[in-house]
Chains A and B, each alone.
Chain A
Amino acid sequence: MDSFKKHTGSVTPLYQINIDTDQIIPKQFLKRIERTGFGEFLFNDWRFDSAGKPIKDFILNNPKYKKSSILATGKNFGSGSSREHAAWALHDYGFKCILAPSFADIFYNNCFKIGLLPIQINEHQMEKIVVCSEKDPNYQLTIDLDCQTITENKSGEKILFEIDPFMKNCLINGLDEIGLTLQHREKIRKFEESR
C-alpha cells in the first residue's frame, strides 16, 4: 500500500452533500479486473455528456483545478455501495486527501487500505476551505498526518484533526494489514480449534 506522511497541494471544491459511490465511479466501469486505471472514469456521468464531451461547468473540467490533489466536499461523502473502485478512482485521478464533514463507513475504511487519506473536519472549517479554494484555484494546504494538522500555506493557520492511531500508523508506514493480522495466526488457529 502507498504510504502517506505529508502532502502539499491545492484544493478542488465540490461542496455537495451525500455524494454517493455511484457518482464517484458509475457501475459501467466496475467490470475491470485491475486496481488501476479508474481515474479517467472518476465522476464520469458528471464530467462527460452522453456524447463523451466534457461538461464545462463541472469543476473537474476546469483547467485551473487540474493539478489539485485535495478534494473538499460535503457531508456523508461516499455513501452507497461498498465498491473500493470509488477510492481507487479518486486516488488514481490524483487525489491524495479527501476533506469532508463526514464520510460513509465503508468508503472511509476503504480509503485507508489504499493510501488515500480521508479527513473529517467540521462544517465551519470546511466552508472556509471551500470559499478560499473557489476564489483561488492555487489555494494551497499542507497536510501533515504525523502532526494531524492541515496548514493553510499562505497564512500559516492550522487546523487540528482527529484520526484513529492504528489507521494513522498503517498509513504513515504503508503497512500491510493482512501481514499484521497474520502475526496472530496462532490465535486464529486456537479460536478455530475451540469451536
Chain B
Amino acid sequence: MSPKTMFQKIWDSHLVHKEPGQPAILYIDLHLIHEVTTPQAFEGLRISKRSVRRPDLTVATIDHNVPTTNRFLPILDPIAKQQIETLRSNCKEFNIELYDIHHPRQGIVHVIAPELGFTQPGMTIVCGDSHTSTHGAFGSFALGIGTSEVEHVLATQTLRQYKPKTMRINVAGDLKFGITAKDLILYIINQIGVNGGTGYVIEYSGNVISNLSMENRMTICNMSIEAGARAGMIAPDRITFDYLKNKPQAPKENIFELKVKEWEKIKTDEGASFDKEVNIDASSIEPMVTWGTNPGMVISINEQIPDPNSFPTINEQKSVSKALKYMGLNPGASLKNLPVDRVFIGSCTNSRIEDLRNAAKIIINRQVNDKVKAMVVPGSTEVKKQAESEGLDLIFKNAGFDWREAGCSMCLGMNPDILKPGERCASTSNRNFEGRQGKEGRTHLLSPEMAAASAIAGHLVDIRNW
C-alpha cells in the first residue's frame, strides 16, 4: 500500500459517497453548535420538515453572546437574549445536549469539546465557526462551516467537500527562552501569508511540535484559519492520549487502550507526499506582536514597523497604509514601549489553564499599571474552577485584573466587553481586524505572557527582559 498522510487516512475512512465532478459526501463524527450561527439552520430544518439525524453526535454550548459578569443577573441585550433562548428551545425540540450558561462545564466551544473529551483523534469535526481548526490538535480533521452547511450536517450528518490539498509545515530547531506557541503560529502566518493556506489542510510536524503540550498544540491549530487554511492538524501521540485519558467523554479503561492502538495508526506514513512542504526554523523566532489589521501583519517586538513602500504591489501598499492609519502607528517605529489602554487574556486561542498559569507567573506580586484596564476571561467554567483551585484568580485579582466568567467576550465583543474608539489593547485572541474588539478599537495580538507583562508595564514589552 502506498504511504498516506494523516489527512488522507481520515478522509478515506469517512467517505460515504463519491462520484466524479461532485464534492464527496463525508461522514461527520462530531457536530458542535453555538447560538450565533445556528438559528437560521434550525429554522431551515423546520421549513423543510426535516429533523436532526444524529442529535447524539451534536453538542451545543452558549459562548459568543454571554455576559462574563454575574450570570445570575438578567441579560440586558434583548437580541442576545433572544438568540440564546432560540438555541435553548432548538436543543430541546431536537433533543440536543446543551452546555447552558449555568452548566458547570459551559465555555467556549473550542475549549470545552477537548476538555470534555468529545474531541478525539481520527474524527471528522465541524462547527459553524472558523476556529474549529483548533480540534485538529488531536489529529482530527476539523473545519469551520457556514450556516447552510450546519443545516446540511444537522439533516444528514454528512458534509459535501472537495478534497483539499495538503501542506506540511515542519518546525525544526528549538524555541528559544520566552518564546511560546503563539509566537510560533504568528510567525508561521507571517511567513506563508494570510491566504497562504487557502485550499490546504496543514499538518504541523517536527520536533518542536511534538514537544508541545496539548494546550499549545491547540493554540497552533486554532490559528490555522488565520492563514486561510481549511484545517490544521497534529499527529496524535502519548501527549494526546495522556490528555484524553479520564476525560468524561473519552472511552473508558480497556476500551481506551484499544482506542489508543487505533489512534497510533493515524499519523502520516513515512514517505507520504504533500502538495506543499514548508520548513520553519524555530530558533529564529522572537516574541511576536501584530502591528496591523490582520494576523499576518506581525513583527517581532524588536523589529521596526514596516514602510508601506517596501511592499511589492500598490494594493498591498494601500492596505498597509490603511492599517497603519487605523492603528495610529508610523512606519519605522518600534512596538516596544507602545502604551496600551486595555489587556485581554482570553479567547479560544489562549484561555486554557496553561495560558492562565503562564500569565499568572509574570504578574505575581505586581500591580497592573494605573492607566490600564486588564481582564482575564477563562475559556471555560472548568478552566475557571481549576484556576481558582490553584489560587490563580487571587494572583490576577490582587494585581488588579478583572476575573470573569467563561465565554468569548472581548475576542469579538458580541457581549458588553468591548474597546472604546481609539483604545489600544494587548490581546491574546486571534484576530486584529478593524473593529473586531469594538469599533475603532486597536488590537495587538500576542502571547499570554506578553499580554500580562504589558498590563503591568502599561506598554508593550519584550518578555525576555522581564
Contact = CB atoms under 8 A, between A and B. Distances in A.
B144 interface: yes
A178 B80 CA distance: 29
Nearest to A31: B79
Instruction: Indicate the size class of the contact surface on chain A.
Output: 35 or more
Given A16-B319, A28-B414, A30-B36, A82 B294 contact: no
B50 interface: yes
A178 B48 contact: yes
Contacts of B79: 31-32
A96 interface: no
B165 to A, nearest CB: 11
B27 A22 contact: no
Interface string A108-129: 0110011000000000000000
A57 interface: no
A46 B195 CA distance: 23
B39 A33 contact: yes
Interface in A77-103: 79-85, 87, 102
Interface residues of B, number: 63
A113 B146 contact: yes
B8 interface: no
B282 to A, nearest CB: 26
A181 B26 CA distance: 10
B195 A76 contact: yes
Contacts of A22: 412, 431, 433-436
B315 interface: yes
A30 B414 contact: yes
B228 interface: yes
A16 B318 contact: yes
B198 A104 contact: yes
A18 B25 contact: no
Given A80-B130, A81-B130, A178-B48, A102 B198 contact: yes
A109 B149 contact: yes
Given A22-B436, A177-B160, A182-B156, A17 B17 contact: no
B83 interface: yes
A187 B15 CA distance: 10
B278 interface: no
A82 B146 contact: yes
B241 to A, nearest CB: 21
Contacts of B318: 16
Contact of B431 (A33, A80, A84, A106): A80
A50 interface: yes
Nearest to A181: B156
Given A50-B439, A74-B315, A178-B156, A106 B130 contact: yes
A28 to B, nearest CB: 7
B461 to A, nearest CB: 28
Nearest to A33: B39
A84 to B, nearest CB: 4
B145 A187 contact: no
A157 interface: no
Closest 8 CB pairs of A and B: A113-B148, A33-B39, A110-B146, A84-B146, A84-B147, A76-B195, A31-B79, A82-B144
Interface of A: 15-18, 20, 22-23, 26-28, 30-35, 45, 50, 74-76, 79-85, 87, 102, 104-106, 109-110, 113-114, 164-166, 176-178, 181-182, 184, 187-188, 191-192
8 contacts: A18-B194, A27-B412, A27-B414, A31-B36, A50-B439, A110-B149, A176-B48, A178-B48
Given A81-B431, A105-B198, A109-B145, 10 more contacts: A16-B319, A27-B436, A81-B130, A82-B129, A102-B198, A104-B195, A113-B146, A184-B25, A187-B17, A188-B27
